[in-house]
């Protein structure tokens, strides 16, 4: 069972956000973001920030650190399938604890940063019962070649960055990867100017 940091914005939360940290960080990394997302007296939500297990990470010379799975090399290629599946099981259990507490799956958001984004996409896109949403910052699809066989057909919405701009190359790379993985895309009409950041 994963250790977690839990922040509730009010009594009797009606929804949950499970936020996964990046490589080498821990659950406290994004804890300070909560007040910026929910105003005092706003909606009662439960934010859950799990700590990834400590493990040796190959790309960091085998140093032990918090990681959802081992990263064997940069830029894709071979992946730690066993570690990814282990993390998937732990995160599914965490989501199940939320549903057992009375929060339905359609009121749970799975969010992440960097390696946390990769796990959020891996877990969220493979669920038989879809979540309220998947939010990712700075990540990519892992095991994309398996999505067509493992994932139900979901609608993936392209959303603008907080600044209202989306980097053309990374945004197109995500869309292309999802299309290659046979994930159905429904791109909303967004008033977002695609331009290179200064």
Cα–Cα distance for residue pair 38/35, rounded to 1 Å: 5
From 28, 24, 114, select the one nearest 64 (Cα to Cα).
24
State residue 172's pLDDT score. 58
pTM for the complete prediction?
Answer: 0.78
Q: Could you report the per-residue pLDDT of 68-78, keeping only the tens digit for each? A: 999 998 877 78
The number of residues in the chain equals 198
- Full set of structural domains in the chain with CATH: 4-148 (3.40.50.1820), 155-198 (no CATH)
Cα–Cα distance for residue pair 72/61, rounded to 1 Å: 10
Q: Could you report the per-residue pLDDT of 100-136, keeping only the tens digit for each? A: 999 999 999 999 999 999 999 999 988 888 898 888 8
Question: Which residues partner with 133 through β-bridges?
Answer: 109
Q: Are 13 and 46 a contacting pair, CB within 8 Å?
A: yes
Cα–Cα distance for residue pair 176/167, rounded to 1 Å: 14
Give the C-alpha distances (Å, rounded to integers) separating 107 from 2, 17, 44, 65, 98: 21, 9, 12, 31, 10
Cα–Cα distance for residue pair 19/49, rounded to 1 Å: 5
Give buried/exposed letters for 44-82 (b at 16+ CB in 10 A, else e): ebbbbbbbbbebebeeeeeeeebbbbbbeeeeeeebbee
Spans of the chain, pLDDT less than 50: 153-169, 184-198
State residue 192's pLDDT score. 33
State residue 84's pLDDT score. 95
């Amino acid at each position: 069972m994963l250790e977690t940091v839990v922040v509730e914005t009010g009594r009797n939360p009606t929804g949950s956000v499970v936020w996964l940290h990046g490589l080498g960080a821990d659950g406290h990394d994004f804890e300070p973001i909560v007040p910026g997302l929910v105003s005092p007296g706003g909606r009662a939500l439960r934010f859950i920030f799990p700590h990834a297990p400590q493990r040796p990470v190959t790309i960091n010379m085998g140093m032990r650190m918090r990681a959802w799975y081992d990263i064997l090399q940069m830029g894709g290629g071979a992946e730690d399938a066993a570690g990814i599946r282990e993390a998937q099981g732990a995160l599914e259990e965490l989501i199940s604890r939320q549903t057992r507490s009375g929060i339905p799956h359609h009121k749970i958001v799975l969010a992440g940063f960097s390696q946390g984004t990769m796990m959020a996409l891996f877990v969220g896109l493979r669920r038989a019962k879809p979540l309220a949403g998947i939010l990712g910052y700075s990540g990519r699809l892992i095991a994309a070649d398996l999505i067509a066989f493992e994932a139900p057909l979901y609608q993936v919405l392209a959303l603008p960055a907080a600044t209202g701009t989306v980097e053309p190359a990374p945004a197109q790379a995500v869309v292309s990867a999802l299309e290659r993985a046979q994930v159905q895309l429904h791109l909303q009409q967004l008033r977002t100017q695609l331009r290179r950041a200064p």
